[in-house]
């Protein structure tokens, strides 16, 4: 009997083939750039071949760039997207190999996407009957032991509920994304003749709406003053900060009165409270908490963390990262993992210390994921030198894993109540008495100890120096990729697998800047239009309901057809309204875009004529861009300046110190942005710099 | 009508939706500023224009109010 095993990515393919191969039975083949392996496993012939992510995708049935479109079908990805053209050879090779085998195995990642990738390949590339003869391998790590066990215990059929949910997600997202994006783009095109790809989607809309609400709060924020009273006390040669009992005082005169009343008054300790408390070990990482921690510690965006984690997973160093579980189930042999980690010099000491404990039980979190455990190291040693990012993330995951086995940390806090005249101040101290798990999580846990000198009730203290600080209420902070991801998770928007991509899309579309995430004028325009004419698209409820429906499909409580019908009924009135108001929407969008383009292309006042505006212009004959004066049209000014043809140009509001012409900033991917004077051909500053350069070069050559 | 600051459509009021909210916030916050430090309207506007925490729309409205010597209504 021979079996075809389909994996999601080439690197997983090699790992699975190697794990299942009997001694020396692994043979590598290559056809049209597609690598596959033939191996013997307990005497049976296995062919292990890889996909390249999704080989099939949703598209519209019928022709035309129109909306609404509700009829969809699944086709090879290469027929729809030019960027997927390299998937064609994978389909051809898999089709050929399918004719040699009797059994099919989906060994893609065990999640909605993996289930769907394997299913669609088996269904569309391996023949109609193949699905009936297909099995599912389920694993959370790519270690040899787990892969063999997964192969031997694999289920006798595909996980069709997950497949259904996966198909539904793709179809619903396609319906929302394509229809709404076309509605926006066509409203603009049909009204003004302008073309610009505008997009929104089921998750993208509500996420953008969060950023919009926050930006509105920030831009309309008025700071209000308040005052804080601080005191500094010197004891045994050390200085300590005292906090006034009222943390914020809203009236300046009152703050001044308090300080006046404290002047020269006796300072006495009225009470001392000491509290001991235990801080439990952290819970295991799910993907969200790993992304948040990696952003906090290393500044990695959620997408970057996910990419690195996936690489570590494919190297069998960590478990499957797209998990929402915070639990390490008993079935995972933590002792073996710790023994494995003890083989790595960097972790030997900690791992061996944990192994000497009587009870080796990890701390667990609340969240569960039926498909995968929390993210943990596998105990395998890296087979190659990890790059700096991989090393950082691996170390973080390893240290978090160790921390799960630590004792609670014992901390002590001291709060002394100090009377200065009739006013109450606090002197606070804190320190770690027993570090417990904190030692295992170093250097990722930081807390500065404040150790107080011996104090006693009734003790007189030197008079503190008292100050008033003027402060202001601060506006809410802008979201960063990590805090936005946290919010999406809280609001149940998107999934652990898609959130990072949605955030990247918002940045890529130019709706928000990357860090901090500030809504751009384009973002404002799109959301203004959606809020005015189609607020449902921005509603969290709509998309959250669909997420819940997808979960119900997985639990076999709802069908794909029901969810699609519901999605279409939600979408239909939105699109009808869009169509009805197309002219108004298009007019609003084009006005906003014209304003945006004008602003983007405006460089500054023309220094030559003193009255025209310098703007970026695209030549109708050569399509090249340059800077020209608006007075050219009436014949009164012919100022024009050449520009780099690649990259983005931004005005800076700065003037050249040599010639007084505007300075622009040039952004070219892969290069550091630089400032340049628009008059660079004639600018005396540049000419002097060039001469200097020539002189230096001549001197060097002498 | 269009907004006196940004040319966006406004309906019957002087400012667009965004600048109108900023204007309301300026008037509301003035009460707290007055209570806190007994400050005059124009001095208050100058102070908020200079402050780093002030939102862009608020700054634009405050500049407009100073330019037009508008008193609090």
CATH number for position A93:
3.40.50.140
Is there a contact between B28 and A222 if contact means CB atoms under 8 Å apart?
Answer: yes
Residue B73 belongs to a domain: no
Distance CA A604, CA A621 (A): 25
**One domain for residues A26 and A130:** yes
Distance CA A400, CA A396 (A): 6
Q: Which whole number is the average pLDDT over B40-60?
A: 95
Are A170 and A116 in contact by the 8 Å Cβ rule? The answer is: yes
Q: Give the dihedral of Cα atoms A182, A186, A188, A194; nearest 10 deg.
A: 110
Of B36, B37, B58, the CB nearest to A222: B58
Query: Across the beta sheet with A423-434, what order do the strands follow?
Result: A460-461, A267-279, A409-420, A423-434, A238-244, A225-235, A465-472
Residue B27 belongs to a domain: yes
Q: What is the 3-state secondary structure (H, E, C) of A24-77?
A: CCCEEEEECCEEEEEEEECCEEEEEEECCCCCEEEEECCCCCCCCCCCEEEEEH
**One domain for residues A398 and A418:** no
Whole-angstrom CA distances from A596 to A72, A399, A533 are: 36, 48, 21
**One domain for residues A277 and A291:** no
**One domain for residues A233 and A339:** no
Residue A702 belongs to a domain: no
Smallest CA-to-CA distance from A517 within A205, A199, A211, A204 is with: A211
Give contacts of A473 with chain B, Cβ < 8 Å.
53
Residue B8 belongs to a domain: no
Domain with residue A298: its CATH number is 1.10.290.10
Question: Can you give the pLDDT at residue B66?
Answer: 93
Q: For residue A372, what are the contacts with CB-CB under 8 A and spacing of at least 6?
A: A110, A111, A140, A319, A320, A322, A323, A325
* Number of folded domains that form chain B: 1
Residue B38 belongs to a domain: yes
Residue B12 belongs to a domain: no
| Position B73 confidence tier, pLDDT thresholds 50, 70, 90 | low
**One domain for residues A130 and A21:** yes
Residue B6 belongs to a domain: no
Query: Across the beta sheet with A602-605, what order do the strands follow?
Result: A602-605, A613-618, A625-629, A640-642
Nearest CA in chain B to A472: B53
Q: What are phi and psi of A49, to 5 degrees?
A: -130, 155
Q: What is the DSSP string of A434-492?
A: E-GGGGTTTTS-----BPPPP--TT-EEPPPEEEEEEEEPPPPPPP-HHHHHHHHHHTT
Give bridge partners of residue A420 from the DSSP assignment: A267, A423
Domain extent for A144: 2-158
Smallest CA-to-CA distance from A138 within A152, A126, A125, A124 is with: A152
Is there a contact between A223 and B48 if contact means CB atoms under 8 Å apart?
Answer: yes
> Would you state the structure tokens that stand for residue A421, as one six-digit string?
């005249």
**One domain for residues A103 and A187:** no
Smallest CA-to-CA distance from A292 within A489, A38, A475 is with: A489
Whole-angstrom CA distances from A548 to A165, A308, A562, A592 are: 11, 29, 13, 36
Give contacts of B18 with chain A, Cβ < 8 Å.
216, 219-220
User: How many residue pairs from chains A and B have C-beta atoms closer than 8 A?
Assistant: 58
**One domain for residues A426 and A540:** no
Domain extent for B42: 17-67
**One domain for residues A535 and A583:** yes
Are A58 and A71 in contact by the 8 Å Cβ rule? The answer is: no
Question: Can you give the pLDDT at residue A665?
Answer: 83
Alpha carbon of A382: minimum distance to chain B alpha carbons (Å)? 48
Are A292 and A486 in contact by the 8 Å Cβ rule? The answer is: yes
Residue A21 belongs to a domain: yes
Smallest CA-to-CA distance from A337 within A326, A325, A350 is with: A350
- Count of alpha carbons within 13 angstroms of residue A42, beta-carbon side: 5
Q: Which of A371, A387, A403 is the last residue of a domain?
A: A403
> Would you state the structure tokens that stand for residue A515, as one six-digit string?
């860090």
Q: For residue B69, what are the contacts with CB-CB under 8 A and spacing of at least 6?
A: B42
Question: Can you give the pLDDT at residue A689?
Answer: 81
Residue of A213, A217, A222, A248 to mutate when probing chain B, most B C-beta within 10 A:
A222
* Number of folded domains that form chain A: 5
> Would you state the structure tokens that stand for residue A565, as one six-digit string?
């019908």
Q: What are phi and psi of A701, to 5 degrees?
A: -70, -25
Of A220, A226, A473, the CB nearest to B22: A220
Is there a contact between B55 and A222 if contact means CB atoms under 8 Å apart?
Answer: yes
Domain with residue A551: its CATH number is 1.10.460.10
Alpha carbon of A111: minimum distance to chain B alpha carbons (Å)? 44
**One domain for residues A124 and A229:** no
Question: Can you give the pLDDT at residue A103?
Answer: 94
Whether the bond into A299 is cis, omega within 30 of 0? no
**One domain for residues A44 and A7:** yes
Are A222 and B54 in contact by the 8 Å Cβ rule? The answer is: yes
Give bridge partners of residue A486 from the DSSP assignment: none
**One domain for residues A60 and A172:** no
B19-58 residues touching A, CB cutoff 8 A: 21-22, 25-26, 28-29, 32-33, 35-37, 48, 51, 53-58
Q: For residue A30, what are the contacts with CB-CB under 8 A and spacing of at least 6?
A: A36
Of A224, A474, A595, the CB nearest to B32: A224
Give bridge partners of residue A664 from the DSSP assignment: A651, A676
Residue B59 belongs to a domain: yes
**One domain for residues A629 and A678:** yes
Of B18, B26, B36, the CB nearest to A222: B26
Strands A613-618 and A625-629 turn out to be antiparallel
Smallest CA-to-CA distance from B38 within B30, B26, B27 is with: B30
Distance CA B20, CA A424 (A): 43
Residues of A carrying an active site annotation: 320
Alpha carbon of B39: minimum distance to chain A alpha carbons (Å)? 11
Residue A596 belongs to a domain: no
Of B35, B55, B56, the CB nearest to A251: B35
Question: What single-letter DSSP state applies at residue A17?
Answer: H
Q: Which of A158, A180, A200 is the last residue of a domain?
A: A158
**What's the angle, vertex CA B28, arms to CA B25 and CA B30, rounded to 5?**
105
Give pTM, 2 decimals: 0.77
Alpha carbon of A219: minimum distance to chain B alpha carbons (Å)? 4
**Rg for chain B, CA atoms, rounded:** 12
Is there a contact between B53 and A223 if contact means CB atoms under 8 Å apart?
Answer: yes
Residues in chain A predicted with pLDDT less than 50, given as ranges, are: none
Residue A163 belongs to a domain: no
Residue B30 belongs to a domain: yes
């Amino acid at each position: 009997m021979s079996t075809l095993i389909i994996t999601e990515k080439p690197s997983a393919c090699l790992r699975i083939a190697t794990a299942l191969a009997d001694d020396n039975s692994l043979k590598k083949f290559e056809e049209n750039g597609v690598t596959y392996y033939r191996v013997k496993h307990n005497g049976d012939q296995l062919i292990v071949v890889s996909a390249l992510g999704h080989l099939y995708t949703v598209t519209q049935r019928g022709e035309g760039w129109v909306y609404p479109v509700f009829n969809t079908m699944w086709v090879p990805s290469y027929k729809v997207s030019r960027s997927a053209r390299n998937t064609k050879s994978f389909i051809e090779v898999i089709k050929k190999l399918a004719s040699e085998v009797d059994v099919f195995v989906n060994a893609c990642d065990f999640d909605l996407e993996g289930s769907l990738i394997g299913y669609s390949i088996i269904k569309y590339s391996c023949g109609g009957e193949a699905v009936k003869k297909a099995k599912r391998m389920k694993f959370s790590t790519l270690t040899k032991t787990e892969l063999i066990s997964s192969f031997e215990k694999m289920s006798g059929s595909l996980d069709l509920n997950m497949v259904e949910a996966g198909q539904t997600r793709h179809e619903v997202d396609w319906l929302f994304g394509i229809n709404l994006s076309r509605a926006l783009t066509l409203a603009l095109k049909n009204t003004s003749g302008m073309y610009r790809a505008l997009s929104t989607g089921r998750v993208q809309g509500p996420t953008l709406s969060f950023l919009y609400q926050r930006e509105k709060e920030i831009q309309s924020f008025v700071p209000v003053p308040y005052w804080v009273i601080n005191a500094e006390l010197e004891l045994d040669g050390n200085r300590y900060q005292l906090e006034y009992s009222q943390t914020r005082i809203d009236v300046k005169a009152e703050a001044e009165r308090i300080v006046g009343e404290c002047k020269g008054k006796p300072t006495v300790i009225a009470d001392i409270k000491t509290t001991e408390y235990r801080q439990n070990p952290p819970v295991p990482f799910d993907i969200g908490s790993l992304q948040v921690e990696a952003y906090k510690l290393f500044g990695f965006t959620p997408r970057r963390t996910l990419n690195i984690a996936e690489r570590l997973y494919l190297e069998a160093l960590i478990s499957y990262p797209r998990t929402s579980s915070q639990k390490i189930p008993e079935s995972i042999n933590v002792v073996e993992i710790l023994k494995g980690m003890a083989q790595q010099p960097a972790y030997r000491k900690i791992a061996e210390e944990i192994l000497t404990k009587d009870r080796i039980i990890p701390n667990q979190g609340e969240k569960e994921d039926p498909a995968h455990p929390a993210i943990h190291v596998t105990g395998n040693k890296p087979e190659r030198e990890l790059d700096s990012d991989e090393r950082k993330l691996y170390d973080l995951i390893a240290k978090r894993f160790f921390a799960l086995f630590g004792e609670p940390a014992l901390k002590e806090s001291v709060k002394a109540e100090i009377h200065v005249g009739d006013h109450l101040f606090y002197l606070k101290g804190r320190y770690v008495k027993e570090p417990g798990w904190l030692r295992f999580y170093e250097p990722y846990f930081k807390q500065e100890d404040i150790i107080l000198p011996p104090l006693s009730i009734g003790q007189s203290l030197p008079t503190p120096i008292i100050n008033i600080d003027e402060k202001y209420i601060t506006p809410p902070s802008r979201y960063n990729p990590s805090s936005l991801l946290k919010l999406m998770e809280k609001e149940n928007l998107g999934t652990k697998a898609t959130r990072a991509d949605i955030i990247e899309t918002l940045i890529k579309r130019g709706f928000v800047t990357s860090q901090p995430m500030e809504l751009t004028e384009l973002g404002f325009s799109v959301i203004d239009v959606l809020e005015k004419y189609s607020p449902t698209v921005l509603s969290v409820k709509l998309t959250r309901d669909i997420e819940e429906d997808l979960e119900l499909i997985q639990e076999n409580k709802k069908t794909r057809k029901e969810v699609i019908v519901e999605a279409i009924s939600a979408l239909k009135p939105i699109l009808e309204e869009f169509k009805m108001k197309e002219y108004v929407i298009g007019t609003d969008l084009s006005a906003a875009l014209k304003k945006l383009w004008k602003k983007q292309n405006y460089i500054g006042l023309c220094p030559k004529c003193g009255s025209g505006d310098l703007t970026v212009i695209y030549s109708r004959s050569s399509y090249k861009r340059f800077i020209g004066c608006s007075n050219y049209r009436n014949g009164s000014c012919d100022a024009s300046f050449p520009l780099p043809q690649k990259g983005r140009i931004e005005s800076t509001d700065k003037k050249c110190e040599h010639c007084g012409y505007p300075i622009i900033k040039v952004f070219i991917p892969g290069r550091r942005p630089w400032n340049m004077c628009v008059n660079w051909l004639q600018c005396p500053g540049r000419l002097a710099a060039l001469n200097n350069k020539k002189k230096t070069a001549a001197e060097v050559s002498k | 009508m269009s907004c006196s600051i940004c040319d966006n459509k406004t309906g019957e009021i002087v400012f667009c939706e965004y600048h109108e909210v900023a204007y309301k916030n300026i008037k509301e916050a003035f009460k707290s500023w007055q209570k806190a430090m007994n400050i005059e309207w124009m001095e208050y506007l100058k102070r908020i224009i200079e402050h780093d925490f002030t939102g862009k729309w608020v700054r634009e409205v405050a500049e407009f109010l100073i330019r037009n010597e508008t008193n609090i209504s």
